Amino acid sequence: MLPAEIAQNVRRIQVVTGRQVADVMAGAYLSVFRGRGMEFDEVRPYVPGDDVRTIDWNVTARTGEPHVKRFVEERELTVMLVVDVSASLEFGSGRRSKLEAAVELAALLAMSATANADKVGLLLFHGGADLYIPPRKGGKHAVRVIREIYARSEAAASGRASAGDAWWGWLREIPRGVRTLFGKLREKSVAKPRSSTSIAAALEFCQKVLPRKTVMFLVSDFMDEGYVEVLRHAHRKHDVVSVVVRDEREAQMPPAGLVTLEDAETGRTRLVDTQSLAFRTELARTAKARRQKLEDDLRSSGIDLMTIDAELPVVDPVLRFFRERERRRMRR
């Protein structure tokens, strides 16, 4: 895609996300991440006029006198967008891929942070750190963040066909029987070695370059292993929010006959019989087990989880997450 076309599409994203931020997102973001203050300061005796929601019930019970929590003044935050751009994110069974949904989400968060005068940074990763933009303030910087992630998604889309696009497009058009799917189409002259996703490597990079606490949105489909301990370690220093981008068709394959599937990241191929009920049942079971394990790992680590469906608007789940997080904070 030409630079002019990229600029035009970035502008379109700005307009769409800008309206969403102006309408609903900025206030929700402010309430969750700024609110009465980001850090607890002290407990002091209650005085008439204090917000009863700030009462510290544990201290009140111990002393027999009402006490309230005091928070430090609102201050500038740093928001870090850590976005997975590995090949598995190119899957899309409908109108857009998981990567395109991730682009919209990142734009929405960047614009929300900018509207509240916070710093925004970006790390794009797959096998390691691909592109790092240090956190800065300002609308121009936010546009640069959006442009870089959008350009990466366009480069991926033009360099090879999405497995999902090929899968569902071809299955609709060709006759029933033996069907062959090549998950990625690429020119032999520009073929590059593939590398699997490494969430751990991305988090370790962030630990090195981010000396202060940040609000870190880790956006990925989490098709990876061995990253949980590193994620927990990162959460001890930063406020990590894990954002899972999913396509429901990854767990539901239609009965379409014999299909050769190719792993988007490793290149390994496998011939499967999609007519087999046992195969489709096992596929759904494995996907469910993976989701449950991720949720359990994050819950046990105290890490927030947000789920984005590539087919649906991203603003709704973001708002649900913000509101739920605000309710949890108010109960503390």
For the cut 50, the answer to whether the pLDDT of residue 175 exceeds it is: no
In a domain, 301, yes or no: yes
In a domain, 107, yes or no: yes
Instruction: Return the pLDDT at 262.
Output: 72
Give Cα 275 distance to the centre of its chain: 33
In a domain, 59, yes or no: no
In a domain, 315, yes or no: yes
In a domain, 331, yes or no: no
Instruction: Return the pLDDT at 153.
Output: 66
Of 162-171, 181-190, 205-214, the one with minimum mean pLDDT is: 181-190
Instruction: Return the pLDDT at 40.
Output: 63
In a domain, 17, yes or no: no
**Domains identified in the chain, total number:** 1
Nearest to 223 by CA among 116, 27, 88: 88
pTM (predicted TM-score): 0.72
In a domain, 191, yes or no: yes
Q: Give the mean pLDDT of 257-281.
A: 80
- Tens of pLDDT, residue by residue over 194-228, are 567 899 999 999 999 998 889 999 999 998 889 99
In a domain, 70, yes or no: no
Residue matched to tokens 């490597």 = 201
First-to-last alpha carbon distance for the chain, in angstroms, is 49
Instruction: Return the pLDDT at 13.
Output: 55
Nearest to 318 by CA among 137, 153, 101, 149: 101
C-beta separation of 228 from 259 below 8 A: no
Instruction: Residue 286: give its domain's CATH number.
Output: 3.40.50.410
Mean pLDDT of the chain: 77
Of 57-66, 197-206, 321-330, the one with minimum mean pLDDT is: 321-330
C-beta separation of 163 from 262 below 8 A: yes
Instruction: Return the pLDDT at 162.
Output: 40
| 27-31, 67-71, 198-202, 276-280: range with highest mean pLDDT | 198-202
Domain with 123, as residue range(s), is 76-324
More confident residue, 175 or 282: 282
Q: How many CA atoms lie within 13 A of 82 on its CB side?
A: 34
